[in-house]
Structure formats: C-alpha cells, structure tokens
C-alpha cells in the first residue's frame, strides 16, 4: 500500500474515531517501536509535528505573540477559520531543508533509513496533503461568501491568513502553542490529552510547580515580575512564534523586519484577539553565528539529539547523540500518529554587572583569572571547554561527557550551573530540549527568553528545577543551590584553589543572583492536525 492510500485510510479512521469520541490510539510507548524513520507511521508523525521541537529553527530573530482571545460568537468563528488555515511549519519541512554535516553517530538508534526512501514517502504525503488543502480551501472560500460574518467583517477573514502565508513563503518558521487557559477557552480542558496522562503540572502552572513568580517559596528565586502585568496564568490563551532572518524579507534590515512581522501578526489576529510581544535573537550580535548569552558563554550545548538534526548527506541521514522520542514528544488527539510537546517559556533578566563583580571577587580569593572564576560558576569556559577536562581554554565544546572522573567536585564544582542543571549521573529522564533566545529590551533589561520542550513537565522540567538546580544537597553533600539563580548567600559553596586537587578549598557566596525571573507560562505545542481540525470543533 502506498503512502497516499495509507494517508486516505488514516484520515477515514481519524474522522471515525473523533466522531465517536474515542481515545486516540498512539501511546507514548509507540514512539519507541518505530523501526526506521522511513516507516510510514513516522513520516506521518513528522508531517504533523510542529517545527522547532526536535530541531532548532536556527533563525536570527523570532517574534513571540502572547494572545488573549475575545469571547463572543463572532470572534470565535473568526478564530476557528484562522486556525483552520494557519500556515504552520512542520518537522518534516525542517529535515528536508536541513544543513549537511559530516557527523555520524555509529551507535545511533533506530537504524538509518535511505534518504531516497524517506523523501519519496514525504513527497507522496505532500501530494496527498496538497489535494486535500485545495479542496478545503475552495470550500472555505465558498463558506466565507455565504457567511454573515464575512459581511459584518469585510475582508478580515480572507486576508488574515494571506498575511501569515506570505511570511512563511519568505522563509519564516511559524509555530502555535496553547496554554491551559487556552484549552479551557476552547472547551478542551479535559479532552486534549489521553485520560492516562498526568497533566496536573500543566493545570497548576509554572508558579505553583516551581516557585518561580512567587515571593514565598522554598526555592526563593529572585522575582521582579513584568511591569506591564503580562504573563497572567488565566489571561494568555496562546502564543504564536514567527522566526525569520533579515534576508527572508528581500533585504530588509532585521529591525525593520521585526516591526513588519509584529504589524502583520496584529493585523492577522485583529478579528478575534489581542496580544503583547517579546522579541528574541539567536545571539547578542543579532547574526546567525553560534549563540552566546549575555555573560559571554556559548549557549545551547549538550541538547538532546534525535533524528536528522543535520539533514540529508549523500544517500543517508546523519545521526548524532540518539535520544528516545518520548523524552520530548507526547501523543495528542490530532490523529492516529499525532504528537506534540510541553513548552516552558520564561523571561529571565541577566545582571551582567553583578556577574562580573562576583567573578572579580572569586578570582582574587583564588589568585586566578576572572575568566576562570566565571568558568567555575558556570561549569564551562566561555568557548565551551569543559572544566572537567582542563583548567585552561582549549576550544573544546564536547557535548557527550560525564563527571565520573571528578566525583569530588574538584575540577567542576558540584554547584556549578551546568552541573546543577544536569549532574550526568544516569538520571537522563530529566533532560529537556532547550530552544531559548536572547532579548534586549534596554541596557538595563536584557537576558534570556528561556524555552524548553519536554514530554512531561513534572518529571522533567519541575524535577530539574526543584531537585537539581535549587536543591542544596547532592548525594548527601551540602553543596548549595545553583549560584546563577539562587538569591541567598547562605550556601557554603567551596572552590578549590588548585584545579583538580583538594585540601585547599575557599568558601564563596554571591550577594545577589545573576538572573531575575520576569514572567513565564506553560504551553503545549499540539500537532498541526489538532490545531486545524479539533480546536473549536464544537462551536
């Protein structure tokens, strides 16, 4: 049976299942049973999965629109039509246009497919989808002409998606995420996920699950909430991301392109909602070079790798570090092979002056350089060199390593940021997929728009924050909480004066945190079919 026939069959099954209200039948364990990535099931999963989850979009800039939907019947109808035509970027598109790489992981799992097989399957799928899209578009246009809403709001519904479609054709990556408040708005609160999934963390929200955003918590992060009262748990329904390069707009500068994108988004959603915006950049120089955060360190290292994050080379797909798909994906109710992922979004202001001052003080205590003192706080040198490998910078950005040769914390301190974020002690289920970008609102307000994708908020993100980053204990040792985020100077952190050797430890605590929480929310990145066919279905 060819892909097109399978596609038609699964569409019929999907319609039957949802008409009957049945539970979707792709389970989390099914994600581990795909034998090859040319398996039709996987092709369907990729074509229905949103971009930027399993492979970063790699664009210079991204505009994030935090949308609040208006609640009248006419507005809901406008929104329903907007969703049905939302030109989202899927994961398969990212693979088909991926960059080449010479990196091959010999132990990668599952087996590498032939590129020709995968692309042939995808080509058949695109053809089938195009036929369905054209048929649906004709019917939608016919429906608009007959709709009272089209008369009441002339041109709005016809133009709103043309605006975003133009952005996508110019090279932009477009993704859409829904908050718990958003699911309530659509009447999908109790139906969006499998009845067997624990979604309690998603329901409670970021502040209750981690202590971020509250003054009273045992975690005690520094809190300086958004002065515009944004990021309200019960007010923000969704987030639209449009990521782009300056050359996506035919030579427009990045600044002009950013203004243009915001204006187009506002016009697109004007028939049903309003939004506030954040703008993120790949790096502080606003280029496409490797990302460095405001303290000057390489960012985005040691992310989990899945399947062709590097695209097609020759007649096969290259693989890097193999990670199980259920680390980041969770089945949703879009269709038989549909998946999404939970998204954490936080705005974190970085205090570079406080960080530099702390590095100077620690350097004096250790009789070392300020760069080395900063490396002790972070856990790496600025160029990515591992502290466990060398006291000096050697331009080494290895991603796969552990701390087995530093079980006393004399090379990389137990409380160093990257060691607190991932002790690499075998508990890999807490790993998350980071897709953060930098923001630059003003000279005194710049930092990180932290984004992470994970299959389970409670077991991954919240455990990472509560049990690793802010837990002062590690294997019975009182090593202190993460020095980058914690605000108290009560932790008795110890630093070795001689790299790799004990017996001469120096205590040091920072007076204030280097990172301040400005706001954040939990979202879910649903499958594309769920967004287009299920949301608003019962209106």
- The 10s digit of each residue's pLDDT in 129-142 is 555 455 445 554 54
Q: Please give the helix or strand (H or E) that residue 254 lies within, else none.
A: helix 254-269
Q: What percent of the chain has pLDDT over 90?
A: 38
- What pLDDT score does 333 carry? 82
pLDDT digits (tens, 9 = 90+) for 429-478: 688 999 999 999 999 999 999 999 999 999 999 999 998 898 888 878 88
Which pLDDT band, with edges at 50, 70 and 90, does 347 fall under?
very high
At 478 the three-state DSSP class reads strand
Question: Averaging pLDDT over each range in 10-19, 71-80, 283-292, which range is the top one?
Answer: 71-80
pLDDT at 101: 33
pLDDT at 253: 86
pLDDT digits (tens, 9 = 90+) for 285-331: 888 887 889 999 988 787 887 754 444 333 333 344 457 788 899 88
Bridge partner residues of 74 (DSSP): none
Among the ranges 28-32, 114-118, 324-328, which has the highest mean pLDDT value?
324-328
Q: For 236-364, where are the E strands, in sequence order? A: 238-244, 273-281, 312-313, 316-317, 330-331, 339-350
Whether the pLDDT of residue 350 is over 90: the answer is: yes
- Report pLDDT for 224: 83
| pLDDT at 201 (0 to 100) | 95
- Mean pLDDT for 106-128 is 47
Report whether pLDDT(417) > 90: yes
Average pLDDT over residues 39-66: 88
Mean pLDDT of 215-242: 80
Residue 347 neighbours by CB under 8 Å, 6+ apart? 226, 231, 278, 439, 447, 448, 449, 450, 517, 518, 519, 520
Averaging pLDDT over each range in 66-70, 221-225, 227-231, which range is the top one? Answer: 66-70
CA 92 to chain centre: 17
Average pLDDT of the chain is: 78
pLDDT bracket for residue 362 (50, 70, 90): very high
pLDDT tens per residue across span 230-289: 999 999 999 999 999 987 655 568 899 999 999 999 999 999 999 999 999 998 888 888
Q: Are strands 437-442 and 473-474 parallel, antiparallel or unpaired?
A: unpaired
Crossing angle (nearest 10°) for helices 156-169 and 254-269 = 150
Write down the pTM of the prediction.
0.83
Q: What's the pLDDT at 515?
A: 92
Q: Are 382 and 297 in contact (CB under 8 A)?
A: yes
Dihedral sign computed on CA atoms, order 136, 141, 146, 147: positive
Mean pLDDT of 11-35: 49
Q: What is the pLDDT of residue 112?
A: 40
Task: Provide the H-helix boundaries in 367-506.
Answer: 370-378, 417-421, 463
Better-scored residue on pLDDT, 132 or 334: 334
Mean pLDDT of 167-194: 89
Enter the tokens of residue 258: 């950013």
Whether 144 shows a pLDDT value over 50: the answer reads no
Q: Mean pLDDT over residues 37-49, rounded? A: 74
Whether residue 332 is predicted with pLDDT greater than 90 in this model: the reply is: no
Averaged pLDDT for residues 91-105: 54
Q: Count Cβ atoms below 10 Å from residue 2 Cβ, excluding itself.
A: 11
Long-range contacts, stretch 385-390, CB < 8 angstroms, 24+ apart:
386/412, 387/411, 387/412, 387/416, 387/499, 388/412
**What's the pLDDT band for 110 if we cut at 50, 70, 90?**
very low
Q: pLDDT (tens digit, 9 = 90+) per residue, 148-174?
A: 343 334 344 445 667 888 899 888 999
pLDDT at 98: 52
The per-residue pLDDT for range 475-522, each reduced to its tens digit, is: 788 888 888 988 666 667 889 889 988 878 899 988 778 999 999 999
Mean pLDDT, residues 96-124 taken together? 44
> Can you give the pLDDT at residue 470?
87
Q: Percentage of residues in the chain with pLDDT exceeding 70?
A: 70
pLDDT per residue as tens digits for the range 372-400: 999 999 999 998 888 888 776 655 555 66
């Amino acid at each position: 049976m060819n892909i097109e026939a399978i596609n038609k069959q699964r569409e019929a099954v999907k319609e039957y299942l949802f008409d009957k209200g049945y539970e979707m039948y792709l389970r989390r364990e099914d994600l581990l049973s795909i034998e090859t990535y040319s398996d039709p099931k996987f092709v369907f999963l990729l074509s229905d999965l949103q971009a930027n989850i399993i492979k970063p979009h790699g664009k210079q800039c991204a505009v994030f629109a935090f949308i609040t939907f208006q609640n009248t019947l006419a507005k809901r109808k406008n929104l329903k039509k907007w969703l049905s035509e939302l030109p989202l970027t899927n994961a398969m598109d990212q693979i088909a246009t991926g960059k080449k790489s010479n990196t091959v992981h010999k132990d990668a799992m599952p087996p590498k497919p032939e590129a020709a097989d995968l692309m042939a399957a995808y080509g058949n799928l695109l053809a089938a989808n195009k036929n369905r899209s054209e048929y649906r578009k004709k019917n939608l246009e016919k429906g608009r002409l007959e709709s009272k809403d089209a008369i009441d709001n002339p041109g709005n519904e016809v133009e709103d998606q043309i605006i975003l479609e133009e952005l996508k054709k110019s090279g932009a990556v477009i993704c859409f995420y829904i908050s718990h408040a958003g699911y309530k708005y659509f009447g999908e609160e109790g139906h969006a996920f499998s009845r067997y999934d624990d979604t309690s963390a998603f329901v409670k929200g970021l502040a209750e699950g981690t202590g971020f955003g509250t003054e009273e918590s045992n975690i005690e992060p520094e809190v300086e909430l958004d002065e515009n009262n944004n990021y309200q748990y019960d007010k923000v329904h969704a987030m639209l991301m449009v990521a782009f390069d300056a050359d996506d707009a035919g030579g427009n500068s990045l600044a002009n392109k950013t203004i243009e994108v915001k204006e187009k988004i506002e016009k697109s959603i004007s028939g049903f909602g309003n939004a506030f915006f954040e703008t993120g950049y790949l790096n502080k120089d606003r280029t496409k070079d490797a990302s460095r955060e405001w303290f000057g360190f390489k960012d985005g290292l040691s992310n989990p790798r899945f399947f062709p994050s590097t695209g097609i080379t020759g007649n096969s797909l290259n693989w890097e570090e193999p990670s199980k798909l259920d680390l980041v994906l969770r089945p949703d109710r879009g269709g038989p092979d549909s998946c999404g992922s939970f998204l954490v979004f936080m705005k974190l202001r970085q205090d570079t002056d406080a960080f530099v001052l702390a590095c100077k003080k620690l350097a004096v205590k250790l009789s070392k350089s300020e760069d080395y003192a900063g490396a002790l706080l972070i856990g790496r040198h600025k160029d990515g060199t591992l502290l466990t490998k060398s006291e000096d910078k050697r331009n080494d950005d290895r991603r796969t390593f552990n701390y087995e040769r530093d079980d006393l914390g004399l090379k990389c301190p137990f409380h160093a940021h990257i060691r607190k974020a991932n002790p690499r002690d075998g508990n890999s289920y807490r790993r998350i997929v980071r897709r953060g970008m930098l923001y630059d609102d003003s000279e005194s307000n710049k930092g990180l728009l932290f984004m992470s994708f994970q299959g389970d908020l409670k077991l991954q993100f919240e455990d990472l924050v509560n049990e690793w980053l802010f837990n002062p204990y590690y294997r019975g040792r009182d090593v202190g909480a993460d020095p980058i985020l914690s605000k108290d100077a009560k932790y008795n952190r110890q630093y070795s004066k001689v790299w790799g050797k004990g017996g001469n430890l120096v205590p040091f605590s920072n007076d204030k945190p280097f990172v301040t929480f400005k706001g954040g929310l939990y979202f879910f990145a649903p499958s594309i079919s769920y967004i287009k066919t299920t949301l608003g279905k019962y209106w």
